[in-house]
Amino acid sequence: MFKFSVKSLSKINDKKFHPSLKKLLLEAIKTSPIDFTVLETTRTLEQQKVNVLKGTSKTMKSRHIPSVNKSGLCEAFDIAPYPIDWKNIKRFIQLSEHIKKTAKELNINIQYGGDWKTFKDYPHYELK
């Protein structure tokens, strides 16, 4: 059984991170077939501007930014299989299958960035 690092837990425990997504991650790590790390939860507008300029994000209305969501909370997270190998898309997809299955079991409605048609964002998940 895997467990989160202190760094991942600090992102999960951010007070602006949506509690349903926190619940999902804490449950998913318990039964995950592969270890994974939390890359990002809550993001500032300034961080988002940088991400758009770098091309790692396509919108200033990111669900990572609490102020753009009706809930006022971060409604997205980015995770990666650990150790991280950005070229091994197969592991990202394997992890996504586990995350989506766990979300369904918890009745948490999410969408996965790797399922998007135009911009594949393999680390990204968000509430629908």
Q: Compute CA distances 42 → 16, 65, 90, 94, 100, whole Å.
A: 7, 6, 26, 24, 20
- Residue spans of the domains in the chain: they are 6-127
- How far apart, in whole angstroms, are the C-alpha atoms of residue 17 and residue 11? 8
- Predicted local distance difference test score (pLDDT) of residue 1: 87
Torsion of CA 52, 53, 54, 60, to 10 degrees: -10
Query: How many residues in total does the chain contain?
Result: 128
Q: Block means of pLDDT (10 residues each) for the chain, length 128 residues?
A: 96 98 98 97 96 92 95 98 98 98 98 95 97
**Which fold is adopted by the domain 6-127?**
Muramoyl-pentapeptide Carboxypeptidase; domain 2 (3.30.1380)
Q: Compute CA distances 98 → 34, 113, 117, whole Å.
A: 9, 14, 21
- How far apart, in whole angstroms, are the C-alpha atoms of residue 36 and residue 14? 18
- Predicted local distance difference test score (pLDDT) of residue 19: 98
